[in-house]
């Protein structure tokens, strides 16, 4: 009952999407997740780098982070990811809205250790800086200073708004005001090479041609 209540969209339920494949596409296109940290007396929402690893979501941060130490205890939390796809401009301020894909993930994170932790970091590295296979992997000291947490994708809710036009009120149909949709496209700039690199290495192809939205 709790799962159904938490994952059922009540506000405009027609926008709810239950297709797991669509959820995976949203998670794979995201670079940042926002995680609620319900620590007693210190409620916060923390932005973190993220990547999907099959049926779980990975996040990473410093072992010195109070937020990560608290999440590693297995406390129930909520993680959100939102991709903004455009602004829907109506002929009234009230009817204007946004196009978006927004996911809410419920459950408890688990701290990864040993080989599982190293593999998790490799998944995160490929997602957040693709093609950098020659970059040095973490040393033992760096691994000890890093926390990798995994959240199973078992309880989630996905809401998608993809309007092609605004839903103007009938009394605004004759109003001589522009209305429509302004799409938002996420794109990468040209990579800027750091000075003094030995051997003048080329930019990895995966970085040079990083697709919009990483999808």
12: confidence class by pLDDT, cuts 50, 70, 90? confident
Comparing 199 with 12, the larger pLDDT belongs to 199
- Report the pLDDT averaged over residues 86-109: 96
In total, the chain counts a number of residues equal to 215
Residue 158 burial class via C-beta count within 10 angstroms: exposed 0-12, middle 13-18, buried 19 and up = buried
| Any domain includes 175 | no
- Report the pLDDT averaged over residues 32-57: 94
| Any domain includes 18 | yes
Residue 1: what pLDDT?
46
Query: How does DSSP classify residue 126?
Result: H
| Any domain includes 177 | no
Contact by Cβ (8 Å): 37, 45: yes
| Any domain includes 95 | yes
Query: How does DSSP classify residue 130?
Result: T
Global pTM exceeds 0.85: yes
Residue 210: what pLDDT?
79
208: confidence class by pLDDT, cuts 50, 70, 90? confident
- Report the pLDDT averaged over residues 20-32: 95
| Any domain includes 174 | no
The CATH number assigned to the domain holding 37 equals 2.30.110.10
| Any domain includes 171 | no
- Show Cβ contacts of residue 57 under 8 Å, excluding neighbours closer than 6 positions: 27, 33, 50, 51, 79, 105, 150, 151, 153
- Report the pLDDT averaged over residues 110-138: 92
- Show Cβ contacts of residue 172 under 8 Å, excluding neighbours closer than 6 positions: 90, 91, 92, 95
| Any domain includes 179 | no
Domain count, the chain: 1
Domain that holds residue 145: 2-166+187-214
Cα–Cα distance list, 138 to 32, 59, 69, 73, 145 (Å): 21, 16, 20, 24, 10
Does position 41 have pLDDT exceeding 70, yes or no? yes
CA dihedral 107, 38, 9, 104 (to 10 degrees): -60
| Any domain includes 13 | yes
For the stretch 174-198, pLDDT in tens is 999 999 999 998 888 888 989 988 9
Within 34-113, residue ranges assigned H as helices are: 66-71
């Amino acid at each position: 009952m709790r799962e159904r209540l938490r994952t059922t969209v009540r506000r405009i339920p027609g926008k709810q999407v239950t297709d797991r494949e669509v959820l995976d596409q949203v998670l794979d296109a995201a670079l940042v997740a926002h995680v609620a940290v319900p620590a007693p007396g210190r409620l916060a929402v923390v932005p973190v780098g993220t990547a999907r690893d099959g049926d779980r979501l990975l996040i990473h941060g410093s072992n010195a982070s109070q937020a990560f130490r608290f999440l590693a205890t297995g406390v129930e939390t909520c993680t959100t990811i939102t991709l903004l796809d455009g602004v829907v401009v109506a002929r009234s301020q009230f009817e204007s809205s946004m196009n978006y894909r927004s996911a809410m993930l419920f459950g408890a994170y688990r701290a990864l250790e040993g080989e599982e932790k190293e593999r998790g970091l490799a998944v995160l590295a490929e997602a957040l800086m693709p093609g950098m296979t020659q970059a040095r992997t973490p040393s033992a000291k760096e691994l000890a200073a890093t926390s990798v947490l995994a959240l199973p994708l078992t309880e989630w809710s996905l809401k998608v708004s993809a309007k092609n036009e605004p839903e103007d009120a009938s009394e605004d149909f004759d109003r001589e005001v522009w209305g429509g949709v302004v799409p938002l496209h996420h794109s990468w700039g040209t990579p800027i090479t750091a000075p003094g690199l030995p051997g003048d290495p080329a930019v990895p192809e995966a970085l040079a041609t990083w697709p919009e939205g990483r999808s």
